[in-house]
Structure 1
Amino acid sequence: MVSQPATPRSGPLRQGDPARLGRYELLGRLGSGGMGVVFLARDEAGRRVAVKVVHADLAGDDEFRRRFRSEVERARQVPPFCTAELIDADTDAPRPYLVVEYVDGPSLAQAVDEQGPLTVANLHAVAIGVATALTAIHGAGIVHRDLKPRNVLLAPGSPKVIDFGIARALEATSQNTRTGQLVGTVAYMAPERFATEPGTPLTPAADIFAWGCVVAFAGTGRTPFQGDSPAATAARILTQAPDLRGLDGPLRHLVELSLVTDPAERPTARDLLDLLIGSGAQRSAQLVEALEQQPALRRAATQMQGAATSGVHQHMAHLPAGDDAADTEITPHVVAVPGRHVQRHAQRRAGRGRRALVAVLAVLGVLTALGAGFLGVRAAGVFDGSAASPGPSATAGPSAAPAPRMSLPPGEPFIVDALTTRGQWTGTFVVGEEGSNCDVTDGALRVNRVAPGFFTCAGPEKQLSGDHTIAVTARIEQPGTCLGVWLYWSQERSYQLTACEDAFRIAVDRDGAVSYVLRDVPLAATLPVGQDVRLQVVVRDGVVRFGHDDVQVAEAPLPEADIDRGRPMIGLVSAPGDDTPPYGATFNDIEVRTLTP
């Protein structure tokens, strides 16, 4: 069934999408990610809801299903104080799904991207709303695990936090255990998330760290440990003091408290809520204005504060997350204003010396082994960090053995184009790619994008299957741009090959986002900006080899049985962690040739 867009925030259903799930009529697609697809739907009473349907590969994982059921039951206990309420779920369906309140509003990430940092009053409203939500979530025994601006929706009346807790089911699947995958977004991960010691507990304090990062982003337009790559960001989180330029007053102090390295020294969500809406020194004129302007937010915050004080939701900041947390006896907690010494903490963070260096090197090793794509540059729309990997991830560093030479076997011409004639290759425009273009000018196919993400250019409408080779001359025109080649492309799925300045990557792409990375190979020598390279691809016997100028850089199996037919595509991808557009690339002389068995 295919429908028209149900709202400006949803896209149409696609061929193969169900028309109904249980008692819910599906109206359109709201998005997709590593766990599944989110649909806009309508219940029998005509109320709009969001239905989140798990991907088929995860639905077949028994460990995922067990944890998914557990987390859904926990999520049912979260009161709807600045959270999207869980309405219904079917964890035993062939494709498990859950139904949550539909929030008709932009995400915090969208708002800041389009309008810049929030006004002072709106910033305080977000700080209060997210602290209220975390108080409710932690009180139910849940750690969010992936709190970030995309998961904060600016609903009329008060902010709403979404996608809480369910990330744990994804993080703990048997597949992820094999690959060591982390679920989350690097820029919002607490230092303890990068611990290399087995059994390191994850507590709600990790969400408090993320709260500080989210508030800093909302107030300044950047994350407090922003680096030029996920690995650089992780290193800053472990060794540097946060960059909070642009924040001031009591709210800056609370953000500083939330970003201390030791999780035991951070305030709890309830601490934050008390400090934000209490009558102490933290209650600034801006806080008063925020509460006066949004009475629904004031009611939610004060009601949640009252519920926590009465013992309905208890203090859980330093309990381990997971199955054992629910079995631990907790006593109601009345919060005192924390007296942390932020300057002492900052000096300690910056002066760890040898231990800090060892920790950073270990984390960089983990990041490299997982591939930058795993660790969530989701705000850029690529290398999605919430994805599960059903296959192994690997890397080869610049100190590895000399790369093998690469030559393309002869084959039959499928597409041979100098890319000098207009109208032969066009951009595959979708929502979110406004301002991007793909056209021949000045003797080359030029691809441009004005926001982080990707943009593909389609040539002849010819479906390719089986073994083949691709060769194309390409040039990175703007720093932070990766050259892209897509194998067997369709709107629903493809293999994505990217040649960035610092690495080559091979990944599985589903529903317009990277599902998981097959291979991530750092380059010994940087791919130069403004210089032609000849990209080369060989697909044969279920394996892809990827390189440039007769040197093989990466090789990986192609494990997805349903990705075996589609169009060859070229284009660009913003580099992981890069949010400094514009992005640009040029292409000439593409040759796609089929190989005989």
Structure 2
Amino acid sequence: MHTPLRPHDPRVAGEYELLGLLGEGGMGAVYLARGRSGRPVAVKIIKPEYAAQAEFRGRFRSEVNRARQVPPFCTAAVLDADPDHETPYLVVEYVDGPDLAEVVTGKGPLTGGDLHGVAVGVATALVAIHGAGVIHRDLKPRNVLFALGSPKVIDFGIARALESTSEHTRPDQMVGTLSYMAPERLDGKAASPAVDVFAWGVLVFYAATGRTPFAADSPTATAVRILTAEPDLDGLTGDLRDLVGRALHKDPALRPTAQELLDMLLAGDAPQATAVVAPVKPRFSRVRVAAVAATTLALALGVFLGMRPGQDNVVVAAVPSPSPSPSVISVADPLARPGKWKQTFADDHSCDFDEDGLLIVAEEHNTEDITCPGPTTAFPGDHAIRVTLESLSEDACAFVWFRYDGRSGYQLSICNDSITAAKYEPNGDGSTVSSTDLKMDYTARHLLGIDVAGRVATFFFDDEKVLTAVIDDPALTGGRVGLGMIQTTEDGGAVRFSHFEARSV
């Protein structure tokens, strides 16, 4: 929802026409806007008093650059930014939907699969954010959105530009929301990823009960309870209660990491789903891990959102999609180190890891397609796959296996000028099922998607549907997923993947 522009609001920011006000907070205001393409976007314009400080502009620039490193499939993409504008601004993908506070207030606390979906989804978002070296700093229900379509995380980390600039914060000021602040932040210590884990614990408890575990009669009393008292977790039971309790430990070193949270959540049995609390259309989340309906951190909505004048609430938040069913099967791997996929080295090729992902390299004169050793999890029915293609040399094609039994299956291959779906037989022979031209920047990062539903597979490239194929072999109704590379010349080639996610739907 947006409100009309006020007399003092700007009408343009760079090439963007401002259409309405989405929200306003301590750092600035967020506007619904339209660019040259006509696509709606969210534009955050920084307050003039901050823009006047060179230190702030420098930090803003560096934090925008850092935010761009968070994988695009789990974020509302950073589309544009101008730190040197008269009033610096940031442009992100526009996302819409009710927030978690509205859902809990209107329909009551979440239970069963709905609650588990929020817990997993927010943890998933934190894994992706922390993996890019960013700290959320203000995770709270107003920033957890139930959006139509894919969950997106936005504006994470930009708060640091304000919090780290001494001219804009005093020792008794910080960016965030008191009830969700970790004790070390109230003690004036530097923020670490552990503060987001603490906020995750508070948020999950709120989702389950409609209250926070350190609530008191005044802000001062709440702060004292956060610093000194054990959390009141009445109303939360089972393994989730234990995990929330660990996330709320006073000592940040004793809290799980976001990845450990996610691993423990996915290792347990998914609770039985209850009635859906918000009318959202199911769709596969492009967040780093599947198994969940995912989450979005959202400034773009303008719930920048849900802020009130004078609050230093800046970044944030995750949006759960619909709840996972008890039978959800998932595979997720950031591909930053050996995990679901393993290293392998041969005379003429290798599958190895660097800081940017799984790197597949073929030496000169390699004649075989390379499938890197990966997960053995089989998807017996419909499922969805998302993976980021980080780079592709001119003489190589990347491919993704699905409904693969180790000898035969279906394969999506992406080359510099085409995208092709093919079926491979046990003897290795392949036959094209569907293909189309594709003009791509082989040096850029691209999101690949495959939605498998019955006898049809739909393929996406950077969120755009580019191809469909009939996959009706009765012997290939389920199977594994995989990653690999096809060398197209004798000169060698390379492909890099990152942030793989697949789940049953």
Q: TM-score if structure 1 supplies the norm length?
A: 0.47
Change (3 A) 1:177 1:29: closer
Change (3 A) 1:203 1:180: same
Which structure 2 residues correspond to residues 28-43 of structure 1 after superposition, within 5 A? 28-43=20-35
Q: Which among 175, 193, 203 is matched to residue 183 of structure 1? A: 175
- Contact 1:104 1:155 survives alignment (8 Å): yes
The yes-or-no answer on 1:24 pairing with 2:13 is no
The structural deviation recorded for 1:81 is 4.3
The structural deviation recorded for 1:110 is 2.2
- In the TM superposition, what whole-angstrom CA distance separates every residue of 1:548-593 from its partner, at most 9, and x where no partner exists? xxxxxxxxxxxxxxxxxxxxxxxxxxxxxxxxxxxxxxxxxxxxxx
More helix by share: 1
Paired position in structure 1 for 2:269: 283
Paired position in structure 1 for 2:207: 218
- Contact 2:81 2:90 survives alignment (8 Å): yes
In the alignment, residue 251 of structure 2 is paired with which amino acid? D
Give 3-state SS (helix, strand or coil) of 1:15's partner: coil
Change (3 A) 1:118 1:130: same
Give 3-state SS (helix, strand or coil) of 2:43's partner: strand
Structure number with greater CO (CA < 8 Å, separation at least 6) is 2
- Contact 1:63 1:174 survives alignment (8 Å): no
**CA distance in structure 1 between the aligned counterparts of 2:75 and 2:223, rounded to whole angstroms:** 28
- Contact 1:82 1:159 survives alignment (8 Å): yes
In the alignment, residue 210 of structure 2 is paired with which amino acid? G
The structural deviation recorded for 1:299 is 6.6
Give 3-state SS (helix, strand or coil) of 1:176's partner: coil
The structural deviation recorded for 1:41 is 0.9
Cα-Cα RMSD: 2.9
Change (3 A) 1:298 1:92: closer
Q: Which among 278, 302, 318 is matched to residue 290 of structure 2? A: 302
- Contact 1:127 1:215 survives alignment (8 Å): yes
Q: Which among 42, 56, 60 is matched to residue 50 of structure 1? A: 42
**CA distance in structure 1 between the aligned counterparts of 2:122 and 2:262, rounded to whole angstroms:** 9
In the alignment, residue 218 of structure 1 is paired with which amino acid? A
The structural deviation recorded for 1:271 is 1.2
Change (3 A) 1:159 1:248: farther
- Contact 1:130 1:211 survives alignment (8 Å): yes
The structural deviation recorded for 1:221 is 0.4
- Contact 2:248 2:255 survives alignment (8 Å): yes
- Contact 1:61 1:174 survives alignment (8 Å): no
**CA distance in structure 2 between the aligned counterparts of 1:47 and 1:298, rounded to whole angstroms:** 20
**CA distance in structure 1 between the aligned counterparts of 2:143 and 2:246, rounded to whole angstroms:** 22
Paired position in structure 1 for 2:121: 129
Paired position in structure 2 for 1:253: 242
**CA distance in structure 2 between the aligned counterparts of 1:177 and 1:26, rounded to whole angstroms:** 29
**CA distance in structure 1 between the aligned counterparts of 2:286 and 2:75, rounded to whole angstroms:** 14
Give 3-state SS (helix, strand or coil) of 1:285's partner: coil
The structural deviation recorded for 1:294 is 4.5
Paired position in structure 2 for 1:436: none
Structure 1 unaligned blocks of 5 or more? 1-8, 314-328, 333-597
Structure 2 unaligned blocks of 5 or more? 295-330, 340-353, 358-505
The yes-or-no answer on 1:105 pairing with 2:97 is yes
**CA distance in structure 2 between the aligned counterparts of 1:159 and 1:115, rounded to whole angstroms:** 21
Which structure 2 residues correspond to residues 72-91 of structure 1 after superposition, within 5 A? 72-91=64-83
- Contact 2:231 2:248 survives alignment (8 Å): yes
In the alignment, residue 134 of structure 2 is paired with which amino acid? I
**CA distance in structure 2 between the aligned counterparts of 1:109 and 1:271, rounded to whole angstroms:** 26
In the alignment, residue 5 of structure 2 is paired with which amino acid? L
Which structure 2 residues correspond to residues 290-439 of structure 1 after superposition, within 5 A? 294-297=282-285, 300-302=288-290, 306-311=332-337
In the alignment, residue 269 of structure 2 is paired with which amino acid? R
- Contact 1:81 1:133 survives alignment (8 Å): no
The structural deviation recorded for 1:330 is 8.2
Give 3-state SS (helix, strand or coil) of 2:124's partner: helix
- Contact 2:74 2:288 survives alignment (8 Å): yes
**CA distance in structure 2 between the aligned counterparts of 1:176 and 1:312, rounded to whole angstroms:** 42
The yes-or-no answer on 1:204 pairing with 2:193 is yes
- Contact 1:126 1:159 survives alignment (8 Å): no
- In the TM superposition, what whole-angstrom CA distance separates every residue of 1:218-258 from its partner, at most 9, and x where no partner exists? 11101111111111111111222212222222222221121
- Contact 2:336 2:355 survives alignment (8 Å): no
Q: TM-score if structure 2 supplies the norm length?
A: 0.55
**CA distance in structure 2 between the aligned counterparts of 1:307 and 1:140, rounded to whole angstroms:** 15
| Count of residues in Structure 1 that have an aligned counterpart in Structure 2 | 302
- Contact 2:288 2:333 survives alignment (8 Å): no
Paired position in structure 1 for 2:158: 166
The yes-or-no answer on 1:270 pairing with 2:262 is no
Change (3 A) 1:65 1:241: same
The structural deviation recorded for 1:109 is 1.9
- Contact 2:70 2:132 survives alignment (8 Å): yes
In the alignment, residue 190 of structure 1 is paired with which amino acid? A
**CA distance in structure 1 between the aligned counterparts of 2:200 and 2:59, rounded to whole angstroms:** 25
In the alignment, residue 229 of structure 1 is paired with which amino acid? S
In the alignment, residue 271 of structure 1 is paired with which amino acid? E
Paired position in structure 2 for 1:231: 220
Give 3-state SS (helix, strand or coil) of 1:129's partner: helix
- In the TM superposition, what whole-angstrom CA distance separates every residue of 1:74-111 from its partner, at most 9, and x where no partner exists? 00001134432222111110100001111110121222
The structural deviation recorded for 1:143 is 0.7
**CA distance in structure 1 between the aligned counterparts of 2:271 and 2:104, rounded to whole angstroms:** 23
Q: Highest Rg: 1 or 2?
A: 1
**CA distance in structure 2 between the aligned counterparts of 1:240 and 1:275, rounded to whole angstroms:** 26
In the alignment, residue 87 of structure 2 is paired with which amino acid? R
- In the TM superposition, what whole-angstrom CA distance separates every residue of 1:446-504 from its partner, at most 9, and x where no partner exists? xxxxxxxxxxxxxxxxxxxxxxxxxxxxxxxxxxxxxxxxxxxxxxxxxxxxxxxxxxx
- Contact 1:151 1:161 survives alignment (8 Å): no
The structural deviation recorded for 1:114 is 2.5
In the alignment, residue 116 of structure 2 is paired with which amino acid? H
In the alignment, residue 166 of structure 1 is paired with which amino acid? I
**CA distance in structure 1 between the aligned counterparts of 2:154 and 2:205, rounded to whole angstroms:** 19
The structural deviation recorded for 1:312 is 10
- Contact 1:11 1:28 survives alignment (8 Å): yes
In the alignment, residue 105 of structure 1 is paired with which amino acid? G
Give 3-state SS (helix, strand or coil) of 2:127's partner: helix
Residue identity over aligned pairs, in percent, reads 58
Change (3 A) 1:289 1:258: farther
**CA distance in structure 2 between the aligned counterparts of 1:113 and 1:18, rounded to whole angstroms:** 34
- In the TM superposition, what whole-angstrom CA distance separates every residue of 1:341-393 from its partner, at most 9, and x where no partner exists? xxxxxxxxxxxxxxxxxxxxxxxxxxxxxxxxxxxxxxxxxxxxxxxxxxxxx
